[in-house]
A and B are shown apart, each in its own frame.
Chain A
Amino acid sequence: MTRRWYPGSRGLLLAVSGLPALAGLAAALWVGADIDALRRVLATPGIELSMASALWSGAIATAIALFLAHIAMALAATGGWRRSLNNLALPLLAMPHLAVGIGLVLVLAPSGLLLRLVSPWASGLTLPPDWQTVQDPFGLSLIAGLVIKETCFLLLVLHAALSQVPAERLLQQARSLGYGRIKGWFVAVAPLLQRQIRLPLAAVLVFGMTNVELAIPLGPGLPPTFAVLLWQWFTDPDPQIHAQAYTGTLLLFAMTLLVLGGAAACGAAVRRVSQHWATGGARGVRERGLRYGLSGLLAALWALGMLAVVAIILRSASGTWRFPAVLPSGDVLSAWRVLAPPALDIAPQTVMFAIATAVAGLLLVLPAAESVHRNTDARRLIGALLFLPLLLPQMTFLFGVQVLLTRLRIDGTFVAVLWSHLIFALPYLWSLVAPARAAIDLRFADVARTLGASRQRTWWRITAPLLARTGLVAFALAFSVSVALYLPTLFAGAGRVATAATEAAAAAASGSLRLASMHAILLSVLPFFAFAIAYTGGALLFRQRRGVPR
């Protein structure tokens, strides 16, 4: 047995991700366990509503997004437009959450794009009506925002999972047994996919419950969702209220644990029901109506998301924009001439962190993936451990990261920011790369070794090309994760590191929607290009190969 070339890679990977997570949790428990503060938290007016709306919006949005993602995947894969699906989802995937939030407000609000399009000629409105279409008390607009973002994200994950499922074969088998295409997909392929996306799904659920990026512009206002309430407490100068925030994050953490448990139970129930449905014998051949109906639903949602993109672009260019004008007044070019330079100044720094994160992340993940590619349990375990930070409320966990970085005296440095970005990029990299590595037929390498190739040569000649496509997508994903990270950049950068995300948040916080929109465009364009390059690059590299997994 020759010595493997990736000694300690697993340990290194887990240490990079796990140390800050453990420190974060320890710090949260340490400072948060405070009975007085807990009492004050529970005595806050409207606290029950706050918690309920966080729970409700996160859970419902995740359920809907999961459902829609499966539907879209099934429709596209069985309808032969899977590749277009990717292209369609790309712009929305690339949009940061904050931008989607701002964009949806610009679309859905009574003064938004939708009503402007029909006013006054159809609706007779010359003033925006006093309707609560965004920030509604039931969190419907928040759910809409989350669904748009998370459906696209889950689609990406499903897409990656597809590489490890012999989907074509399974579908053919189902079809040969007489099943309709959609039913065949859901009976044969979807359950296998679902099994592989459980952790990203959990992360989506936790994010839905604990996010502030969407909940601030779209969520209910009086009271806000629990996460927003905590965020407000964090930004309060009163130390007593600050203590409340720490205790509150523990509550939030407990809530997420409960909900994750509940979700697991729900999953089991759904599994049982769908087994009945799958083994019921109905073939579901007549599916045209179903197909059109579901496509229509998806198209509507997609259009809403794209309108948000359009609204952002319009807003960034607009001077004054009174209802019911459909287009803003004012000189577009002059607005961009003033606003674009500061936005572009920040681009090189942002790109640098994003590329460094993606490269460092791949360098950490590839050897570790190599070392566990025969060991499914170890792979799953590492995946779960890497996901741990994403299952913690961001605010709590980042406080611990902060302490750690300061202790090491590297806060505000390049390495510190890179590290904090890695924590968030690694789980996604792992969930793409490790299963893809494991899915590569073991016999390929065996054949190569039998032919006398060394381990390294085998890896470079056999494994690397087979992984390349996944690797490119993973690179783009890590890139876009890094571009969109706001709180980690702020904390690890000690406020001295500026990226497009921090600038956009600062502009949004200061109330300048125009400048915020401008930064949001940059925030969306960078990942968009990363994904576009990854996909076209993959397609170009292997345009004459059929077996290379996509």
Chain B
Amino acid sequence: MRSPRRCAPRDDGGTASPSLRGCEAAVAISIRLAESVYLRDRHVAALLTITGRPRRCAPRDDGGTASPSLRGCEAAVAISIRLAESVYLRDRHVAALLTITGRPRRFAPRDDGPQLPALARHFIVGLILCAGLAAAAEPDTGSNTVPADWAQIQSDASGQTVYFNAWGGDPSINRYLAWAAEELRAQHDLRLVHVKVTDVAEAVSRIMAEKAAGRDEGGSVDLLWINGENFAALKRANLLWGPWAERVPHAALIDWQDNPTTRIDMTLPTEGFELPWGTAAFTLFYHEPHVPVPPHDPAALLAWIEQHPGRFSYPQPPAFLGSAFLKQLLLLLTDERERLLKPAGDDFADVAEPLWQWLDRAHAAMWRGGRLFPPSGPAQRELLAVGELDWMMSYNPSEASRAIRQQELHETIGALHFSGGALANTHFLAIPANASAKAGAMVTANFLVSPRAQAQKADERHWGDPTVLDMSRLATTERALFDSASTGAATPPAPDQFLPEPHPSWTTRLEAAWLRRYVR
């Protein structure tokens, strides 16, 4: 974050008295910067939290405040400073805070404080530190332990209202959650409210804001649909309640063993702080008439590509699905799969070599001779739809079936997972530490992973999201629910094996190396 640093310490002209204006400018610039790159990590969350700003994609109802202001920032900084001072923290973070805000220090000002250019970063770090401190300093109240007795939880839950913050961008998902709410009302006398967020990071920042404002109880979010970065941010800040996930009754049915992504969320162990809800697996789709014998491993795919010049391509890395394709291939081609779970190091070139050999051969026979790639996954779907390509790829196995139903793809589409295993990740349910209705949230989560709810979710007429349950642990009648669920012809059966995502450093290295190799 270069710009805020430079812009922050600008003298403000006429403002003589120490004011927070410099801080505001720095924060505002940082937010702009962060928003402009759609950065949704903990820094942005922290920034948004302290400034009390609605997210760019957040049509949050802000009560009366029509025009966005930075006033929240002042309050948050004041709180943070008080917090830091109250624990007698005398390190460079507080110094940074004090310097930026131009407030008189309570402690003797040291000359060797941080230099101005580093202020913005220190500011962010300091605030996160303060948030962490606040969380750590908080006494362990009884409400923060998970009750053991499920019957007790169920009776607590009855009559509660659960605010479920979940992405609301898809009408069929919204309909599914409305169905779940109706079921929960009938079975458990529990009111489930779907708070439709445009991005879950929105809810994450709200939780952080509540924490900063000292709202340790009675928070506005009871249940979250979450994974990856957002989960990591909340867990790091100690803002999640738990561990609870393995104690709900239906957790016993989850496929913990064969699908490691239910336990490890993008290389971060979940440790019971989130409950698997649905899964995603890297899937290849093809135009059936041109692919009579589907290739189930990279070698067979390469053979097909070489026999059918110009009919295969993949999204151009670093497009999300293009990078996923590289990772999927590397996982299948390498002998050292375990190596990929640890950060990439000096052996990168050796480990990645089989991938480059495969790609070098494939590119020669690919669409446009491997000198042009579809810019994104959806763009590739368009090319498959008009007939320029015979292949596309997605993380959602039911993508093609859904597209066919929406008349965006023709009907003769087949699908496959590589037999060596599908690159996979899982999305989860989590409960914030300050949730108001924890019992209700647990009951809701338990319902959402019940065989009935999972079967309904896997049904493409309702949603089409693959289940996290282990079929072998279900009773026959429960398994029948899944058999009767409608899956389109273009949806493959569940993969034999799930391959967890490699450590993020591999993605970065692969993308950079790909560009160096193939941009000419």
Contact = CB atoms under 8 A, between A and B. Distances in A.
A binds B: yes
A137 interface: yes
Listed residue (A246, A335, A412, A510) with the most chain B CB atoms within 10 angstroms of its CB: A412
B56 A495 contact: yes
A413 B68 CA distance: 9
Contacts of B69: 409
Nearest to A395: B36
Contact of B2 (A31, A510, A513): A31
Contacts of B136: none
Given A237-B41, A246-B3, A323 B386 contact: yes
Indicate the member of A235, A243, A321, A330 with the most B CB atoms within 10 Å. A321
Contacts of B316: 221-222
Contacts of A216: 375
A407 B388 contact: no
B378 A111 contact: no
B303 interface: no
A413 B69 CA distance: 11
Residue from B54, B372, B407 having most chain A Cβ neighbours under 10 A: B407
Contact of B368 (A31, A132, A494): A132
Given A111-B387, A130-B309, A221 B372 contact: yes
A246 B375 CA distance: 23
B372 A222 contact: yes
Contacts of B309: 130
Contacts of A413: 67
Interface in A214-249: 216, 220-223, 234-237, 239, 242-243, 246
Interface stretch (B26-34, B148-156, B172-180, B490-498): B26-34
B382 A511 contact: yes
A127 interface: yes
Contacts of B371: 132, 137, 222
Interface string B49-67: 0000011110100000001
B254 interface: no
B387 A127 contact: yes
B39 interface: yes
B407 A403 contact: no
A491 B29 CA distance: 12
B388 A320 contact: no
Contact of A411 (B55, B68, B381, B385): B68
Nearest to B518: A222
Interface string B373-391: 1011111011101111000
Nearest to B68: A412
A137 B2 CA distance: 34
Nearest to B410: A320
Given A222-B373, A246-B2, A322 B385 contact: yes
A34 interface: yes
Interface in B348-376: 367-369, 371-373, 375-376
A111 B386 contact: yes
B515 interface: yes
B169 to A, nearest CB: 10
B519 interface: yes
Contacts of A234: 36-37
A362 B449 CA distance: 61
A398 to B, nearest CB: 9
Interface string B1-26: 11100110000000000000000010
B117 to A, nearest CB: 12
A549 interface: no
A357 interface: no
A223 B316 CA distance: 11
A228 B339 CA distance: 35
A403 B29 contact: yes
B402 to A, nearest CB: 13
Given A31-B6, A222-B371, A242-B2, A322 B410 contact: yes
B170 to A, nearest CB: 12
B35 interface: yes
Contact of B3 (A27, A221, A407, A410): A27
B56 A494 contact: yes
Given A234-B37, A239-B2, A320-B407, A409 B70 contact: yes
Contacts of B59: 496
Nearest to A398: B36
Contacts of A237: 37-39, 41
Nearest to B319: A232
Given A242-B33, A495-B56, A34 B67 contact: no
Given A320-B408, A412-B67, A128 B386 contact: yes
Contact of A45 (B7, B373, B376, B516): B516
Interface string B205-221: 00000000000000000
Contacts of A27: 3, 7
Contact of A403 (B7, B37, B56, B387): B7
A356 to B, nearest CB: 18
Interface of A: 27, 30-31, 34, 37, 44-46, 49, 109-111, 127-128, 130, 132, 135, 137, 216, 220-223, 234-237, 239, 242-243, 246, 319-323, 330, 335, 399, 402-403, 406-407, 409-413, 491, 494-496, 510-514
11 contacts: A30-B6, A110-B388, A130-B367, A130-B369, A223-B519, A322-B385, A406-B29, A407-B28, A409-B70, A495-B35, A511-B381
3 closest Cβ pairs, A-B complex: A511-B378, A495-B56, A130-B310
Interface of B: 1-3, 6-7, 25, 28-29, 32-33, 35-39, 41, 54-57, 59, 67-70, 309-310, 316, 318, 367-369, 371-373, 375-379, 381-383, 385-388, 407-410, 515-516, 518-520
